[in-house]
C-alpha cells in the first residue's frame, strides 16, 4: 500500500481513510473447494500429501527484530528466476508469475503503503485525539468518552505509571473485557513508552501465571471480577503494581454505583479477593491528573505489544509487535477500507461494532486502532455471548462497520430480535478468526443486504495479511488478496514454491510481520524463512487471480489411510444440514486407517439423529471424508473470541 503512507495517520488529509480492514487472527477460509491437490489426494492414497501435508510446526511463528526487517523487504520469491541468482532461489521462483494478486486489486489501490507518518502508536493516537477531539471515541453501556477525554485520561494514567518508577519498555498487563477502561489504559501504556501485554480475563490461574512470568510484567490493570485469579498467583510473578477497575468506574457517579451494586451483589459476578497494596482505577486517574506527563522518545523499532498466541497451537508464546509493525497494518487497512466507501459513502459519524474482545489482536487493530484512525465511535460490547443483551445495544446505534466471526454471525442470525434491526446503514461486515461458512454468509447477506468480506491474519502479522475486496457483492469463500506491501507465498515442506492451484503452507512477508517470539529464538527460527517469510502453519492454495483459500491448519489435518481430510470441509458440509447449529471435526486414532474423522454436533433440531446425519454425509462426502463417529453436544468448547477449540475436543474424544 505504498503510496498512501499518510493513511496510517488518524486520517489526516483523508477523513475517509480506512475503516478497518478485515480480520485478523485466523480468518480461515471455508475449505470445501480446493483444486488439484484434493483431486490428487483422492486418486493416490499414499502419495496424497499435498505440498505441505506433513504436519510440521503446527503453529508457525516468527523471530525477533532482525526478522521484522527482513519481513519488510521485497520477496525474492516473487521474481522470475535469473541467471545470477543462487540455485536455491532460482528453484523457489521458477515458473511463478510475479504477484498475481495485483491484477485483481480494487481500482486505484496502491501496491505499497509508503513511509509511515508517525514513529509510534502513541503519537498516532494523540494525533487522532486532536483531529477528532469533539467526537465520541468509545461508548459502553450508554456512556461515551470523546477523543479529547481519551487523550486527557490516558495522559493522567500514563503520568501515574511514570511516577511509579517504571522504566521505558516495562511490560504492563491489561486483563479486562470491552469496557471504557481498556482504551484509556492501552493508550496510556503506549504513549508512556511501555509495552502492552494483553491477557484474556477468563484465563485460569495457571495460564495467567505463565503469561505474567514469561512477559516479565511489572504492572497489571485488571477488572475486579477477575482479581481472585491474580490473587492466586501474584506472589510467584514479577508484578509489583496492581490497578483494579470495576465495571462502573467510568459510567458516572449514580449509574456507576448502580452497575457496581448489580454486578457485585445481585449477579454476584465478583468473587471475594484480596490484593494488598492495590490501587483503584479511578484513584489512578485522580492522582495522575496532578502529575505532569512526560512524553518519552519512542521509535518504530520499540516494542508496542507482546501479543500472546491464543493457545490453540500449544504453549502460548508472545509475538513481539513493534510500533512500526502495527502502524504498518493500520496503514494497510486504511487503504483497503477505501474500497468499501466506493459502494456506500463514509458517513459523517461512523460507528464500529466492537463485539470481539479488545485484548485479541483482531479487535485491537481492526476496531480500536482503525476506529480511531477513522475518527469513528467504537460501540463496546462487554459480553457478546449474551446475545439478547447484545442485540439491545445494537438497536441503539446505526451499524456501519461490523467485524465478527462465524459463530457470532450464526448466533445473531438465530435471534429473532436481531432480524428486526435496521441494516440499511451497514457498509462492511468483516469475517475473521475462523472460516466463515458459506451458509452463514448467504443467510447474513439475505438478511442484512451486506456481504461478509472475509480476511485473514494472525497475532504474528498484527494481524491482517489478506482481505477480500470490500466493494465485492459476493462471498468468495477465500481469504482474499494480500494487502498492499504484503506478499503471500505457498510453499511445500522443503520451502519450495508450489504451482498456482496446489496446496502448500501459506507464508507471509510484509512490514506487519512480527519481530519474533519473546525470548524464544528457537521458536522464531522455526517459523521465519531465510528470505523473510513467516510460515503461518495454515494450508492453502492461490488461484490464478491471486486469491488464496485456506483448507486447514497443518496440525488439524486428519490423515485417513494416506488421504488428507480437512476438518473445515467436513464442517462446512455438515453445517448446511438444516438440523445442525454448529459442528466441529477432529481426527481420532484408528487401528486400520491411522485416523478417522469424528464429528461433534450441536443440534438445531432436537429430533436429528446420528443415522440421519450419517446418511446426509454419505450423500455429500466421499468415503474417507465421512465421519466414523458422531457425538451430539449441547455446546462446543470455544475461545473467548468464539473460535471452536478442536484441541479440547481431541482431548475429549
- How many Cβ atoms from other residues are within 10 Å of residue 395's Cβ? 12
Same domain, 551 and 536: yes
Contact indicator for 368, 358 with CB cutoff of 8 Å: yes
- Tell me the CATH number at 641: 3.30.300.30
Supply the pLDDT for residue 33: 36
Distance of CA 85 to the CA centre of its chain: 37
Same domain, 442 and 580: no
Q: Which residues of 411-428 are buried (b: 16+ CB within 10 A; e: fewer)?
A: bbbeeeebeebebeebbb
Could you tell me if residue 192 is inside a domain?
A: no
Supply the pLDDT for residue 560: 85
Count of positions (residues) in the chain? 653
**Residue in the structure block whose three cell numbers are 481472585:** 228
Could you tell me if residue 43 is inside a domain?
A: yes
Q: How far apart are CA 53 and CA 539, in angstroms?
A: 8
Q: How far apart are CA 138 and CA 371, in angstroms?
A: 9
Q: How many CA atoms are closer than 13 Å to the CA of 261, on its beta-carbon side?
A: 6
Contact indicator for 529, 507 with CB cutoff of 8 Å: yes
Supply the pLDDT for residue 73: 35
Contact indicator for 492, 51 with CB cutoff of 8 Å: yes
Low-confidence ranges of the chain (pLDDT < 50): 1-95, 311-313
**Structural domain for 611, as ranges:** 557-652
Supply the pLDDT for residue 89: 40
Contact indicator for 628, 596 with CB cutoff of 8 Å: yes
Burial of 632 per CB tally in 10 Å (0-12, 13-18, 19+): middle
Same domain, 334 and 440: yes
- Tell me the CATH number at 454: 3.40.50.12780
Q: How far apart are CA 537 and CA 550, in angstroms?
A: 11
Same domain, 325 and 359: yes
- Last residue of one domain, picked from the residues 556, 583, 601: 556
H helix and E strand count, the chain: 20, 26
Q: Across the strands, what pairs with 632?
A: 601
Pairing of strands 548-553, 534-542: antiparallel
Same domain, 577 and 524: no
Could you tell me if residue 440 is inside a domain?
A: yes
Same domain, 444 and 563: no
Q: How far apart are CA 67 and CA 15, in angstroms?
A: 33
User: Which among 26, 25, 18, 27 is positioned nearest to 453, based on CA atoms?
Assistant: 27
Distance of CA 243 to the CA centre of its chain: 27
- CA distances 149 to 15, 42, 156, Å, are 20, 60, 11
Same domain, 577 and 550: no
Could you tell me if residue 6 is inside a domain?
A: yes
Same domain, 429 and 337: yes
For the chain, how many structural domains are there in total?
2
Give pLDDT tens digits for 330-369.
Answer: 999 999 999 999 999 999 999 999 999 999 999 999 999 9
What is the grid cell recorded at 349? 459519524
Give the H/E segment covering residue 307.
strand 303-308
Contact indicator for 515, 67 with CB cutoff of 8 Å: yes
Could you tell me if residue 405 is inside a domain?
A: yes
Could you tell me if residue 376 is inside a domain?
A: yes
- Last residue of one domain, picked from the residues 503, 538, 556: 556
- Last residue of one domain, picked from the residues 493, 523, 556: 556
Supply the pLDDT for residue 29: 35
Distance of CA 430 to the CA centre of its chain: 11
Same domain, 548 and 586: no
- How many Cβ atoms from other residues are within 10 Å of residue 588's Cβ? 15
User: Which among 641, 622, 512 is positioned nearest to 28, based on CA atoms?
Assistant: 641
Can you tell me whether residue 172 is helix, strand or coil? strand
Could you tell me if residue 177 is inside a domain?
A: no
Same domain, 81 and 95: yes
Contact indicator for 638, 407 with CB cutoff of 8 Å: yes
Q: How far apart are CA 356 and CA 359, in angstroms?
A: 9
Q: How far apart are CA 454 and CA 445, in angstroms?
A: 13
Supply the pLDDT for residue 543: 97
Can you tell me whether residue 9 is helix, strand or coil? coil
Contact indicator for 220, 230 with CB cutoff of 8 Å: yes
Same domain, 500 and 533: yes
SS (H, E, C) 227-250: HHHHHHHHHHCCCCEEEEECCCCC
Distance of CA 459 to the CA centre of its chain: 6
What's the predicted TM-score (pTM) here?
Answer: 0.79
Same domain, 502 and 624: no
Could you tell me if residue 191 is inside a domain?
A: no
Amino acid at each position: 500500500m505504498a503510496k498512501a503512507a499518510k493513511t496510517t495517520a488518524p486520517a489526516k488529509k483523508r477523513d475517509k481513510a480506512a475503516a478497518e480492514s478485515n480480520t485478523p487472527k485466523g480468518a480461515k477460509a471455508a475449505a470445501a473447494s480446493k483444486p488439484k491437490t484434493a483431486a490428487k489426494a483422492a486418486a493416490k492414497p499414499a502419495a496424497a500429501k499435498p505440498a505441505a501435508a506433513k504436519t510440521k510446526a503446527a503453529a508457525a511463528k516468527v523471530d525477533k527484530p532482525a526478522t521484522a526487517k527482513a519481513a519488510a523487504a521485497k520477496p525474492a520469491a516473487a521474481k522470475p528466476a535469473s541467471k545470477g541468482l543462487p540455485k536455491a532461489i532460482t528453484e523457489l521462483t521458477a515458473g511463478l508469475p510475479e504477484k498475481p494478486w495485483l491484477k485483481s486489486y480494487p481500482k486505484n489501490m496502491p501496491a505499497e503503503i509508503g513511509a509511515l507518518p508517525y514513529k509510534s502508536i502513541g503519537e498516532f493516537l494523540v494525533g487522532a485525539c486532536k483531529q477528532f477531539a469533539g467526537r465520541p471515541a468509545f461508548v459502553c453501556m450508554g456512556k461515551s468518552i470523546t477523543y479529547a477525554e481519551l487523550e486527557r485520561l490516558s495522559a493522567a494514567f500514563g503520568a501515574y505509571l511514570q511516577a511509579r518508577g517504571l522504566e521505558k519498555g516495562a511490560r504492563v498487563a491489561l486483563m479486562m473485557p470491552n469496557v471504557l477502561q481498556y482504551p484509556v489504559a492501552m493508550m496510556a501504556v503506549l504513549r508512556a513508552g511501555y509495552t502492552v501485554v494483553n491477557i484474556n480475563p477468563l484465563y485460569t490461574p495457571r495460564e495467567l501465571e505463565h503469561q505474567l512470568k514469561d512477559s516479565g510484567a511489572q504492572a497489571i490493570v485488571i477488572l475486579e471480577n477477575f482479581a481472585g485469579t491474580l490473587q492466586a498467583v501474584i506472589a510467584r510473578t514479577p508484578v509489583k503494581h496492581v490497578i483494579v477497575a470495576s465495571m462502573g468506574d467510568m459510567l458516572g457517579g449514580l449509574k456507576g454505583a448502580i452497575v457496581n451494586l448489580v454486578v457485585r451483589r445481585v449477579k454476584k459476578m465478583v468473587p471475594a479477593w484480596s490484593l494488598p497494596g492495590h490501587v483503584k482505577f479511578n484513584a489512578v486517574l485522580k492522582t495522575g491528573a496532578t502529575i505532569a506527563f512526560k512524553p518519552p522518545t519512542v521509535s518504530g523499532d520499540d516494542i508496542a505489544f507482546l501479543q500472546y498466541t491464543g493457545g490453540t497451537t500449544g504453549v502460548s508464546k508472545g509475538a513481539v509487535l513493534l510500533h512500526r509493525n502495527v502502524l504498518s497494518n493500520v496503514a494497510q487497512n486504511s487503504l483497503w477500507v477505501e474500497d468499501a466507501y466506493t459502494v456506500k459513502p463514509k458517513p459523517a459519524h461512523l460507528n464500529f461494532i466492537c463485539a470481539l474482545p479488545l485484548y485479541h489482536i483482531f479487535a485491537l487493530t481492526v476496531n480500536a486502532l482503525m476506529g480511531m484512525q477513522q475518527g469513528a465511535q467504537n460501540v463496546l460490547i462487554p459480553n457478546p455471548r449474551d446475545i439478547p443483551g447484545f442485540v439491545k445495544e445494537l438497536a441503539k446505534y446505526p451499524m456501519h462497520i461490523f467485524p465478527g466471526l462465524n459463530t457470532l454471525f450464526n448466533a445473531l442470525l438465530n435471534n429473532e430480535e436481531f432480524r428486526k434491526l435496521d441494516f440499511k446503514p451497514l457498509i462492511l461486515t468483516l469475517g475473521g478468526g475462523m472460516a466463515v461458512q458459506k451458509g452463514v454468509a448467504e443467510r447474513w447477506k439475505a438478511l442484512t443486504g451486506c456481504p461478509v468480506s472475509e480476511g485473514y491474519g494472525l497475532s504474528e502479522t498484527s494481524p491482517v495479511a489478506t482481505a477480500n475486496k470490500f466493494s465485492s457483492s459476493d462471498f468468495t469463500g477465500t481469504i482474499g488478496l494480500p494487502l498492499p506491501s504484503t506478499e503471500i507465498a505457498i510453499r511445500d515442506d522443503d520451502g519450495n514454491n508450489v504451482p498456482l492451484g496446489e496446496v502448500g503452507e501459506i507464508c507471509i512477508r510484509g512490514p506487519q510481520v512480527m519481530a519474533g517470539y519473546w525470548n524464544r529464538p528457537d521458536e522464531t527460527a522455526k517459523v521465519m524463512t531465510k528470505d523473510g517469510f513467516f510460515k503461518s502453519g495454515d494450508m492453502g492454495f492461490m488461484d490464478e487471480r491471486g486469491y488464496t483459500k485456506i483448507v486447514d491448519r497443518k496440525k488439524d489435518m486428519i490423515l485417513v489411510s494416506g488421504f488428507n481430510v480437512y476438518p473445515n470441509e467436513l464442517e462446512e458440509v455438515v453445517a448446511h444440514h438444516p438440523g445442525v447449529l454448529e459442528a466441529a471435526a477432529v481426527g481420532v486414532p484408528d487401528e486400520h486407517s491411522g485416523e478417522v474423522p469424528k464429528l461433534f454436533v450441536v443440534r438445531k433440531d432436537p429430533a436429528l439423529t446420528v443415522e440421519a446425519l450419517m446418511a446426509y454425509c454419505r450423500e455429500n462426502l466421499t468415503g474417507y471424508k465421512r465421519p466414523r463417529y458422531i457425538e451430539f453436544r449441547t455446546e462446543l468448547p470455544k475461545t473467548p473470541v468464539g473460535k471452536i477449540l478442536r484441541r479440547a475436543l481431541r482431548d475429549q474424544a
